[in-house]
Structure 1
Amino acid sequence: MIAFVRGKFARKSPSQVIVDVNGVGYELQISLHTYSFISNKEEGQLVTYLHITENGQTLFGFFEQTEKELFLQLISVSGVGASTARMMLSGLNPDEIMKAIVQGNTKQLEGVKGIGKKTAERLVLELRDKLAKVQTELSVSTGANHFRSVEQDVVQALVGLGIARPMAESAVKKVSLSAKESLSLEEFIKQALKNL
C-alpha cells in the first residue's frame, strides 16, 4: 500500500496532480480542498489512498490525514463511491461535511452534486455517531480550531517555547490571515513571535 508520496508537483489541476517522485510520475486524484493547499506550492507531500476496483486502480491524494480519514468514512456508506466522496470534499470542506452529518443537516449535503435525499439521510444515519466522536477528539486536540499541519507545527513550536496555547493559536491565526504567500516553517514561527 502507498501511504504517501513526496516530490515535485509536475502538473496540477483542481481535480488532479502529478507528483514527480525521483523521476516517477504518480497521478493522484484530488479534491478542491487539497488543491487549495497545494495550488501555490512547487513540491510537497500528499497522504494517499489506493482505490482498487474491477475496472482499474485509482490513487487519491489528500493534503491532510483528517481529509483522508473522512474520505474513507464517506466511501464506507452504501451508495457513496470514491468519485462522489471526492465531489463532497470539493463542494464542502471536511469540517463542513462533519458538522452537517453530526447535526443531521441533510439539505446541506444534498447541495453537493451526486448526493440525493436518500444518500444524505444514509450518510447521517451511518456516520453521525462516528463523526461526532472524531469531531470531539479534534476539538480537544486543537482547542476547537482546526489548523493546517504547518500551523499546528508552529503552534507546537511556540508552546515548546513556553507560550500559552491560546496566545500561540491567536498569533498563528493573525499570520495566516495576513500572509500573502506561503511561508517556510522558520519564517512562520518568526512572524508568529512578532504577533504575540
Structure 2
Amino acid sequence: MIAFVRGKFARKTPSQIIVDVNGVGYELQISLHTYSSISNKEEGQLHTYLHITENGQTLFGFATQGEKDLFLQLISVSGVGASTARMMLSGLQPDEIIKGIVQGNTKQLESVKGIGKKTAERIIVELRDKLAKISLETGVNSNIVFPSTERDAVTALTGLGIARAMAESAVKKVSDSAKETLSLEDIIKQALKNL
C-alpha cells in the first residue's frame, strides 16, 4: 500500500496532480479542497489511498491525513464510491461534511452533485456516531468548537466513561465561567465537579 508520495508537483489541475518522485510520475486524483491547499506549492507530500477495482487502479491524494480519513469513512458507506466521496470533498470543506453528518443535516449533503436524499440519510445513519467521536480531534462538534485544551479535557472525560454530551456541557460551563486561562488538569477537575 502506498501511504504517501513526496516530490515535485509536475502538473496540477483542480481534479488531478502528477507528482514527480525521483523521476517517476505518480498520477493522483484529488479533491478541490486538496487543490486549494497545494495550488501555490511547487513540491510537497500528499497522503494517498490506492483504490483497486476490477476495471483498474486509481491513486487518490489528500493534503491532510484528516481529509484522507474522512474519505475512507465516506467510501465505507454502501452506495458511496470513491468518485462520490471525492465530489463531496470538492463541494464541501471536510469540517462542513463532518458537521453536516453529526448534526443530521441531509440538505447540506444533498447539495453535493450525485448525493440524493436516500444516500445522504444512509451516510448520516452509518457515520454519525463514528464522526462524532473523531469530530473533537478536528475541532468540529455538533454544537461547540473547542480550543485544543478543552478538546483534550472532553476526550479525557469521555475516556473516564462520561457521556460525550455531558462532558462537552461540563467543559463549556467551566471555560465560560473561567476568569483566567486554566490548565488541562484544572479544567478536568472543575468539569468533574459540575457533573
Q: Which TM-score applies when normalising by structure 2? A: 0.72
The Cα offsets for residues 7-26 of structure 1, whole Å up to 9 and x where unpaired, read as 00000000000000000000
Task: Tell me the SS of whatever aligns to 1:8.
Answer: strand
Task: Tell me the SS of whatever aligns to 1:95.
Answer: helix
Q: Which TM-score applies when normalising by structure 1? A: 0.72
Q: Shift of residue 51 of structure 1?
A: 0.2
The Cα offsets for residues 128-176 of structure 1, whole Å up to 9 and x where unpaired, read as 000000012333784589xxxxxxxxxxxxxxxxxx9xxxxxxxxxxxx
Partner of 2:13: 13
Seen in structure 2, the aligned counterparts of structure 1 residues 90 and 5 have a Cα distance that, compared at 3 Å, is same
Map 1:1-196 → 2, pairs under 5 A: 1-139=1-139, 142=148
CA RMSD of aligned residues (A): 2.1
CA distance in 2, matches of 1:125, 1:40: 38
CA distance in 1, matches of 2:107, 2:81: 20
Task: Tell me the SS of whatever aligns to 2:138.
Answer: helix
Whether the 8 Å contact between 2:95 and 2:138 is mirrored in structure 1 is: no
CA distance in 1, matches of 2:89, 2:150: 21
Whether the 8 Å contact between 2:34 and 2:63 is mirrored in structure 1 is: yes
CA distance in 2, matches of 1:121, 1:113: 15
Whether the 8 Å contact between 1:50 and 1:57 is mirrored in structure 2 is: yes
One-letter amino acid matched to 1:87: M
Seen in structure 2, the aligned counterparts of structure 1 residues 57 and 143 have a Cα distance that, compared at 3 Å, is farther
CA distance in 2, matches of 1:94, 1:28: 19
Whether the 8 Å contact between 2:106 and 2:117 is mirrored in structure 1 is: yes
The runs of 4+ residues in structure 1 deviating greater than 4 Å are none
Task: Tell me the SS of whatever aligns to 1:49.
Answer: strand
- Identical counterparts, % of pairs: 82
Larger Rg: 2
Task: Tell me the SS of whatever aligns to 2:47.
Answer: strand
